[in-house]
A and B are shown apart, each in its own frame.
Chain A
Amino acid sequence: MLLNRPVVFLYVILAVSVGYFISALSLGAPISESGLTPSFFPILVGGAAIFFCSILIVQKLRAGPEAIQADAQRNYTHFWVVVAIFFYIVAFKPIGYFISSGVFVFALIVLVSSFEKLLQKAVISAVIVVIAYVMFQELFGVRLPTLWG
């Protein structure tokens, strides 16, 4: 009950809020002779975040396990999408737009659909990447990284 998924999310937010609050305190005294200092507002915001987070955690814990939405069919596609985006960003500059984007789009299509008709999906990916390149580079004048410079 103390570690169901919505509460874990709130614990994470609480930890971040506490970290933010401590960082804000380390900026110095909130009020000086000349008025409010750069730490005043963050201390206020951090304090409010901890307050709201605590309320929500107490509400969730009081609600009990029956009130927490059951996630019978867990779907982790979003996790793999995040992984795909992460590696796409890492590879974007070193290997250039075309290869990284081609693999990325293909991976996403396969992730969201199924591991079938791979040739068709590869062709679709290539077409999407070329159209997006033309749109960004030629139409809007954006320089995209390529292997040739």
Chain B
Amino acid sequence: MDFILLVLNSFTLLLDPFNLTYVILGFVIGTVFAAIPGLTATLAMALLLPVTYALNVETALMASASIYMAGMTGGSITAITINIPGAPSSMMTALDGYPMQQQGKGARALGHAALGSMIGGAVGALLLIAVAPFVAEVSLLVKTTGKFSLLAFAIIVVVIAQRGHIAQAGLAACIGLMLATVGLDAMEPITRFTYGFSNLTAGIDLMPVIIGTFAIAEVLVQAVSSNDIRAATAAAGKVRISRREFLPPLSDIRKIGFGCYIKSCLIGYFVGTLPGAGGSMGSFLAYTEAVRTSSEPETFGKGNPKGIAASESANNAVCGGAMVPMLTFGIPGDPITAIMLGVLIINGIQPGPQLMTDQAALIAPMLATLLFSAAVLIPLTLYLLGPYFIRIVSVRKDVLYAVIALLAVVGSYVATYSTFQMFVALGMGILAFYLRRNGFPVITMLLGYILGPNLEEFLRRSLALSNGDPTTFFTNPDSLFFVLLTLVFIYFLVIRKPSRRAEAAPGL
């Protein structure tokens, strides 16, 4: 209850013009990046990471929260209007949004997407505010052995979630773990894998890893593929949207039903709590559930607003869900929460069970912003900027990527004023580029890199405490719980065949 009151009090921080400016700026930047095919809100966050040095932690986290929420919403703009999802989480939105656009109901489809996003984002944020303190209290019960099993669970789930690409995901996780072992050992005064570079003694810094993985790699990816934005720019020129048509009619909302919104929100929220699942899986599951329970499943994929509502409610509810493991256990649910974790680490705050109790005052404004972004900024942005949204994609690609590259390279210099970090960022960019090009999930690598140090430390501590007895992982109840949970996930994600219903969704 205290935490809920703290969150409510934090709304006063949004009245501060400085904070509000960053929140609104973050939301607009997140929307623009999510709307442009090829750019993502993750990239926006990566580019803005160096800026957090100049901001206080609360403001940086508030801006991050608004970028996150905007990122989940913005992708629907191009998904609906030109059938090119600006973000992967909006793929399902395109299935019904674009047919509505073709029927001359594009503005209404955007209205449905905004309403779904607003409900999903708000419900996700409210659930997070209500649930996170309890999860944090429970997480305090998890001891060293359990912490190792939990981190191992997170990495294993992220790997096996890549159905059909498990070996690639496993290798990507190993690369991340390798990067995590560079530098001084956590328990003994020994340096590892530095190969004579004194700059590596403290390990590979988080900032160049994030900037390289998301920003520089993106510039390289876009340098070799020039089609997306040209096609989008050409299509964008033909789309006309009127502000009056944004409001979804009550009859449509009734037809979609309150139950569909809430069910999709819950699906999105719980999917968000799983490491590595993200908005795409949330919207996919909510969409297939909407199709399954619909009395007219044949209308999906042909312009049914229920499809848009389910997809958008779920992907925005993911924001709240993904923050639960990030705030309580220090395990990021997706790339954006991984960068948020970076914001905390860069500012000397250690994420984990104590965070919600010891640093609640820092976290509460971020959660308040998440709710504010969903409930206020999503509809407001649509109304004020909606008619101009589609022109976002017309921005010049050459200028855009030159700006991104400049901000990325200079941004990686900011942390230590050393060109070495710039080279690290370039190296990470090249690595991430080739990983992506060859079908490796880079989020798995990032998760391995972020969780690696703790994974190793807890493994060694657990075995030291048990005098080298590995059965300690099965005899401690907290550890056993996560071991069993891992087995359950392996059963559902690896052994059991995917359901026919999921395969039967339109467009898949």
Q: List chain A residues, Cβ under 8 A from B417.
A: 143
Inter-subunit contact B414/A109 (CB<8 Å): no
Can you name the residue of chain A whose Cβ is closest to the Cβ of B169?
Answer: A52
Inter-subunit contact B170/A36 (CB<8 Å): no
Q: Report B207-256 residues with CB < 8 Å from chain A CB.
A: 216, 219-226
Inter-subunit contact B175/A35 (CB<8 Å): no
Interface string of A96-134 (1 = CB under 8 A from B): 010001001100111111000000010011001100100
Can you name the residue of chain B whose Cβ is closest to the Cβ of A56?
Answer: B167
Q: Report B406-433 residues with CB < 8 Å from chain A CB.
A: 406-407, 409-410, 413-414, 417, 419, 422-423, 426, 429-430, 433
Find B188's partner among A38, A78, A82, A144 (CB 8 Å cutoff).
A38
**A15 interface residue per 8 A CB criterion:** no
A92 to B418, CA, bound (A): 10
A80 to B220, CA, bound (A): 9
Inter-subunit contact B178/A45 (CB<8 Å): yes
Inter-subunit contact A31/B468 (CB<8 Å): yes
Q: List chain B residues, Cβ under 8 A from A85.
A: 216, 405, 409, 426, 429
Inter-subunit contact A78/B178 (CB<8 Å): no
**A29 interface residue per 8 A CB criterion:** no
Inter-subunit contact A108/B401 (CB<8 Å): yes
Q: With A38-B190, A45-B177, A49-B174 as given contacts, are A108 and B402 in contact (CB-CB < 8 Å)?
A: yes
**B295 interface residue per 8 A CB criterion:** no
Q: With A34-B464, A36-B463, A140-B51 as given contacts, are A42 and B409 in contact (CB-CB < 8 Å)?
A: no
**B54 interface residue per 8 A CB criterion:** yes
Inter-subunit contact B406/A132 (CB<8 Å): yes
Inter-subunit contact A49/B178 (CB<8 Å): yes
Q: List chain B residues, Cβ under 8 A from A80.
A: 223
Inter-subunit contact B171/A36 (CB<8 Å): no
Q: With A36-B460, A41-B181, A82-B426 as given contacts, are A93 and B171 in contact (CB-CB < 8 Å)?
A: no
Can you name the residue of chain B whose Cβ is closest to the Cβ of A97?
Answer: B410
**B475 interface residue per 8 A CB criterion:** no
**A27 interface residue per 8 A CB criterion:** yes
Inter-subunit contact B433/A105 (CB<8 Å): no
**A146 interface residue per 8 A CB criterion:** no
**B266 interface residue per 8 A CB criterion:** no
Interface size of A in residues (CB-CB distance below 8 Å): 63
**B302 interface residue per 8 A CB criterion:** no
Q: List chain B residues, Cβ under 8 A from A23.
A: 192-193
**B459 interface residue per 8 A CB criterion:** yes
**B471 interface residue per 8 A CB criterion:** no
Q: List chain B residues, Cβ under 8 A from A82.
A: 220, 426, 429-430
Can you name the residue of chain B whose Cβ is closest to the Cβ of A93?
Answer: B419
Q: List chain A residues, Cβ under 8 A from B406.
A: 101, 104-105, 108, 128-129, 132
**B438 interface residue per 8 A CB criterion:** yes
Find A132's partner among B221, B410, B459 (CB 8 Å cutoff).
B410
Q: List chain B residues, Cβ under 8 A from A111.
A: 223
Inter-subunit contact A42/B181 (CB<8 Å): yes
**B187 interface residue per 8 A CB criterion:** yes
Inter-subunit contact A92/B413 (CB<8 Å): yes
Inter-subunit contact A81/B464 (CB<8 Å): no
Q: List chain A residues, Cβ under 8 A from B419.
A: 89-90, 92-93
Q: List chain A residues, Cβ under 8 A from B402.
A: 105, 108-109, 112, 125, 128
**B399 interface residue per 8 A CB criterion:** yes
Inter-subunit contact A35/B459 (CB<8 Å): no
For residue B64, give the distance in angstroms from its CB to the closest CB of chain A. Answer: 16
**B299 interface residue per 8 A CB criterion:** no
Q: Report B442-482 residues with CB < 8 Å from chain A CB.
A: 455-456, 459-460, 463-464, 468
Q: Report A17-31 residues with CB < 8 Å from chain B CB.
A: 17, 20, 23-24, 27, 31
Inter-subunit contact A52/B409 (CB<8 Å): no
Q: List chain B residues, Cβ under 8 A from A59.
A: 167
Q: Report B161-178 residues with CB < 8 Å from chain A CB.
A: 167-168, 170-171, 174-175, 177-178
What are the 9 A-B residue pairs with the smallest beta carbon separation, nearest first?
A140-B54, A49-B174, A113-B398, A52-B171, A108-B402, A112-B398, A77-B223, A38-B185, A35-B464
Residues of chain A whose beta carbon lies under 8 Å from any beta carbon of chain B? 6, 9-10, 13, 17, 20, 23-24, 27, 31, 34-38, 40-42, 45-46, 48-49, 52-53, 55-56, 59, 75, 77-78, 80-82, 85-86, 88-90, 92-93, 97, 101, 104-105, 108-113, 121, 124-125, 128-129, 132, 136, 139-144
9 contacts between A and B (CB under 8 A): A35-B464, A55-B167, A75-B225, A92-B422, A104-B409, A111-B223, A112-B397, A128-B399, A144-B410
